[in-house]
Amino acid sequence: MDPVSQCKTEVDVLWSEEKTLQPPENFKNRANVKDPVIYRQAFQDRLKFWEECARRLDWYQPWDKVLEWNSPFAKWFIGGKLNASYNCLDRHIEAHLGKKIAIYWEGENGNTKALTYQDVYEHVNKMANVLKSMGIRKGDRVAIYLPMVPEAIFAMLACSRIGAVHTVVFGGFSAEALRDRINDAQAKLLITADGGWRRGAMVPIKTMADAALGQTPCIEHVIVVQRIGQDIPMKQGRDHWWHDLWEKAEAYCEPEPMDAEDILYILYTSGTTGKPKGIVHTTGGYLTGVNVTMDWVFDLKSNDVFWCTADVGWVTGHSYVVYGPMSNGVTQVMYEGAPDFPERNRFWEIIQKYKVTILYTAPTAIRAFMKWGVQWPKSCDLSSLRLLGSVGEPINPEAWLWYYENIGHGHCPIVDTWWQTETGAIMITSLPGITAMKPGSATKALPGIDAEILNEEGEIIKEGGGFLSITSPWPSMLRGIWGDVQRYKDTYWSKWQGKSYFAGDGARRDKDGYFWFMGRVDDIMLVAGHNISTAEVESALVDHSMVAESAVVGVSDEVKGQAIVAFVILKDGNRPSKEAEGLLKEHVSQKIGALARPKQILFTSDVPKTRSGKIMRRLLRDVAEGRALGDVTTLADSLVVAELKKQYDEV
Ligand code: 6R9
């Protein structure tokens, strides 16, 4: 059969946007949110609605006023006092949940730990006292540069316990990236590790930290977690072992009552463009947002075993590994390593072993699983799963259906969650017991969130494409960019004169009001005067049975303004050829139109991505247009792009 007609599958039928998939009956019946009236309640009195949500938390002092909005500056729950670590730990222990497992930790090399809420509480309290003893006070910044070990969670909660502001830097980032973030935040203390494990190899985290520390005069002390157990240089007076300090620390540390608007953390965004921005989140609104979305979207039950595969160095880790799960008293799995170590079924083994009920992962991972083949998930018992989630990028319908069928076995709803570091919490997704799903669509805005598609002029487009915008303030919104008010205004609020938040994403709404994300607007291509989204062309390519993953960019073209260049990763068992190139070009033409036909297709084994799995199209454009590469500090694997450049230059 010719490969073009071969892939006229179910995807084509579902992709038509006419079809929807209803949540399974038994899921619906047991769902936490069953009644669509919640949308109307939120709409009728948004502030009252958010107040109700905030009451899910424990406050030392209630707020006097819900919202103060001096565009573009928001304050939520003014006058209220609370502590994030108290909400994540103490209150569960007071509710007699101390013996409940908080974290099943799975080390890549087979080490495991099962930590109860009581255990986590003890670690956090001691570390909080350690931080205090090192002179860390409320408002001081603490940098955290750790692998996926429980100490990363302890460290974050220890900071929030004493009111220190954490700034977590992903453990795989370079020394340079770490240095810049430490200096921008003016952190006084760094928490790091002697090393970490990745694909069986040791990651020299402390060596990297030491390189950064040569140029970070603001750092006074360094606390080092022992993970690898190898000899590493420790600088006298500056570096201290976590376990030594821990042993000597007092057992209890009174949580610091924080103002709702006190800063909880700074997190530098993945930086797909230019210099990273330190996104600022405060305590009350952020915690309200992550706490309630965790419950609505993941439909939490007391016996769930939740697994979010994101690293804590990414916002998804902050919101749905640390503050969301812990403030809800959930049992979760935390995994240190790679999905293909030692075998390509590691994720499925983990699900089987811990009887994971909710899996939250990224489209890039799902596409890798598709590429590796169904034999891997088939080798494990995944029957414990009841809900699946996706985050980080638009998920193409092909990958959505693969996930639905091969991982969820047709009985788990999928929540495709759209949100950003800046939004703090999930904004657009389905309520799994209510919303009919459309593969590839993030569906609708959550209750209390006003999302619209706007045009250049800021007019609402009810059906059609444009810029995604949030039109009213929401509790977990960013409060600014650390140290750069002007950049905050310019980046998010200047487009429509402070009236509406500019998310930077292109999206489209269908006739049912469903949102379809098209990628970052900077990535949208202009071919012969027509806007074509990278996501759309990538989705069409991945829809072909030979293709595992693709990355598409627009390059300057004398005739058309921009022409499309596609980087394509083939599924195992397929080989690059002129014929394959022709077939794929034709396939895209058929699916979208001749205008979207790629000018060039380059077969490759990988594309450059950030650690959170986002394709760095900026770098691909550099490659395709023969420029020197721009900032590569946020790349997951810097070899990939060098390799690609070499390959491209040869062609
Ligand atoms: C949580 C996170 C934010 C950007 C965002 C958008 C893309 C995330 C998505 C999605 C389509 C989804 N994005 N989730 N696009 N559908 N479900 O990813 O935060 O790292 O700040 O990235 O990611 O482009 O603007 P962050």
Q: What is the CATH number of the domain that holds 603?
A: 3.30.300.30
Residue whose CA is at the smallest distance from ligand 1 atom 17 = 418
DSSP string computed for 128-190: HHHHHHTT--TT-EEEEE--SSHHHHHHHHHHHHHTPEEEE--TTS-HHHHHHHHHHHT-SEE
Statement to judge: residues 484 and 573 lie in one domain: no
Cα of 93 vs centre of ligand 1, distance in Å, is 34
Statement to judge: residues 415 and 290 lie in one domain: yes
CA distance 439 to 509: 14
Statement to judge: residues 324 and 458 lie in one domain: yes
Cβ(223)–Cβ(192) below 8 Å: yes
Indicate the helix (H) or strand (E) that contains 364.
helix 363-372
Using CA atoms in the order 318, 319, 323, 327, what is the torsion angle rounded to 10 degrees? Answer: -160
CATH code, domain with 234: 3.40.50.12780
Summarize the confidence of residues 205-216 as an average pLDDT. Answer: 97
Instruction: Please give the structure tokens belonging to residue 63.
Output: 């707020």
Give the mutation target among 312, 321, 393 for probing the ligand 1 site: most ligand atoms within 8 A of CB.
Answer: 393
Residue whose CA is at the smallest distance from ligand 1 atom 3 = 420
What number does the ligand 1 atom closest to the CA of 419 have? 1
Cβ(81)–Cβ(260) below 8 Å: yes
Cα of 280 vs centre of ligand 1, distance in Å, is 17
Local structure of 116: helix, strand or coil: strand
What number does the ligand 1 atom closest to the CA of 520 have? 24
Statement to judge: residues 448 and 561 lie in one domain: no
Whether residue 397 is preceded by a cis peptide bond, meaning omega within 30 degrees of 0, is no
Instruction: Please give the structure tokens belonging to residue 471.
Output: 């039109």
CA distance 648 to 417: 35
Residue whose CA is at the smallest distance from ligand 1 atom 26 = 420
Cβ(379)–Cβ(353) below 8 Å: no
What number does the ligand 1 atom closest to the CA of 416 have? 17
54 inside domain: yes
Q: Whose structure tokens read 């993970």? A: 227
Cα of 509 vs centre of ligand 1, distance in Å, is 17
What number does the ligand 1 atom closest to the CA of 612 have? 20
33 inside domain: yes
Cβ(44)–Cβ(471) below 8 Å: no
Residue whose CA is at the smallest distance from ligand 1 atom 23 = 392
* Ligand 1 pocket list (CB less than 6 A): 269-270, 315-316, 391-394, 416-421, 442, 503-505, 517, 520, 612
Statement to judge: residues 135 and 260 lie in one domain: yes
**Domain that includes residue 569, residue range:** 528-650
Please give the pLDDT value at position 292.
98
514 inside domain: no
Statement to judge: residues 573 and 481 lie in one domain: no
CA distance 479 to 292: 19
Cα of 426 vs centre of ligand 1, distance in Å, is 10
Ramachandran category for residue 529: left, alpha or beta (phi over 0 → left; psi -120 to 50 → alpha): left
Please give the pLDDT value at position 636.
66
Ramachandran category for residue 443: left, alpha or beta (phi over 0 → left; psi -120 to 50 → alpha): left
518 inside domain: no
Please give the pLDDT value at position 16.
59
Statement to judge: residues 554 and 496 lie in one domain: no
Give the mutation target among 420, 505, 611 for probing the ligand 1 site: most ligand atoms within 8 A of CB.
Answer: 420
Statement to judge: residues 569 and 461 lie in one domain: no
What mean pLDDT value characterizes the chain? 93
- pLDDT-derived band of residue 5, with 50, 70 and 90 as boundaries? very low
- Check whether 184 has a pLDDT greater than 70: yes
What number does the ligand 1 atom closest to the CA of 429 have? 17
3-state helix, strand, coil in the chain (%, to 5): 35, 25, 40
Residue whose CA is at the smallest distance from ligand 1 atom 10 = 393
pLDDT tens digits along 480-495: 999 999 999 999 999 9
Cα of 76 vs centre of ligand 1, distance in Å, is 24
- pLDDT-derived band of residue 13, with 50, 70 and 90 as boundaries? very low
- Check whether 9 has a pLDDT greater than 60: no
Give the 3-state DSSP-derived string for 398-435, with helices as H, strands as E and coil as C: HHHHHHHHHHCCCCCCEEEEECCCCCCCCCECCCCCCC
Give the list of residues 6+ apart from residue 16 with CB closer than 8 angstroms, or none: none
Summarize the confidence of residues 255-276 as an average pLDDT. Answer: 86
Cα of 393 vs centre of ligand 1, distance in Å, is 5
- Percent of the chain past pLDDT 90, that is, above it, reads 80
Q: Give the burial string for 82-108 (b: 16+ CB within 10 Å, else e).
A: bbbbbbbbbbbbeeebbebbbbbbbbb
Domain boundary at 474, 505, 536, which?
A: 505
Statement to judge: residues 593 and 444 lie in one domain: no
CA distance 552 to 213: 38
Ramachandran category for residue 608: left, alpha or beta (phi over 0 → left; psi -120 to 50 → alpha): beta
Best-predicted range by mean pLDDT (20-29, 89-98, 528-537): 89-98
Please give the pLDDT value at position 270.
61
Residue whose CA is at the smallest distance from ligand 1 atom 4 = 420
586 inside domain: yes
CA distance 520 to 620: 15
Give the list of residues 6+ apart from residue 59 with CB closer than 8 angstroms, or none: 80, 81, 82, 284
Domain boundary at 471, 505, 539, which?
A: 505
Give the mutation target among 505, 508, 617, 634 for probing the ligand 1 site: most ligand atoms within 8 A of CB.
Answer: 505
Give the list of residues 6+ apart from residue 646 with CB closer than 8 angstroms, or none: none
CA atoms within 13 A on the CB side of 632: 15
- Check whether 4 has a pLDDT greater than 50: no
Domain boundary at 444, 474, 505, which?
A: 505
Statement to judge: residues 369 and 463 lie in one domain: yes
CA distances from 597 to 53, 211, 354, 522, 566 (A): 48, 46, 46, 20, 10
Residue whose CA is at the smallest distance from ligand 1 atom 15 = 393
pLDDT tens digits along 386-423: 999 999 999 999 999 999 999 999 999 999 999 999 99
Cβ(475)–Cβ(46) below 8 Å: no
CA distances from 500 to 277, 457, 468, 495 (A): 20, 11, 10, 8
Beta bridge partners of 101: 116
Where would I find the H helices in 21-108? 25-30, 37-44, 46-54, 84-85, 91-94
98 inside domain: yes
443 inside domain: yes
Number of domains composing the chain:
2
pLDDT tens digits along 105-114: 999 999 999 9
- Check whether 226 has a pLDDT greater than 90: yes
Please give the pLDDT value at position 106.
98
pLDDT tens digits along 432-479: 999 999 999 999 999 999 999 999 999 999 999 999 999 999 999 999
* Least confident segment among 13-27, 242-256, 582-596: 13-27
8 inside domain: no
Indicate the helix (H) or strand (E) that contains 447.
none
CA distance 257 to 161: 9
Cα of 103 vs centre of ligand 1, distance in Å, is 26
Cα of 616 vs centre of ligand 1, distance in Å, is 13
Cα of 348 vs centre of ligand 1, distance in Å, is 25
Statement to judge: residues 349 and 474 lie in one domain: yes
DSSP strand pairing (387-391 vs 414-417): parallel
CA distance 584 to 7: 12
Beta bridge partners of 470: 451, 501
Statement to judge: residues 204 and 262 lie in one domain: yes
Cα of 617 vs centre of ligand 1, distance in Å, is 14
Cα of 376 vs centre of ligand 1, distance in Å, is 28
Cα of 636 vs centre of ligand 1, distance in Å, is 17
Dihedral sign (CA 40, 43, 44, 47): positive
- pLDDT-derived band of residue 618, with 50, 70 and 90 as boundaries? confident
Beta bridge partners of 359: 307, 388
- Check whether 6 has a pLDDT greater than 50: no
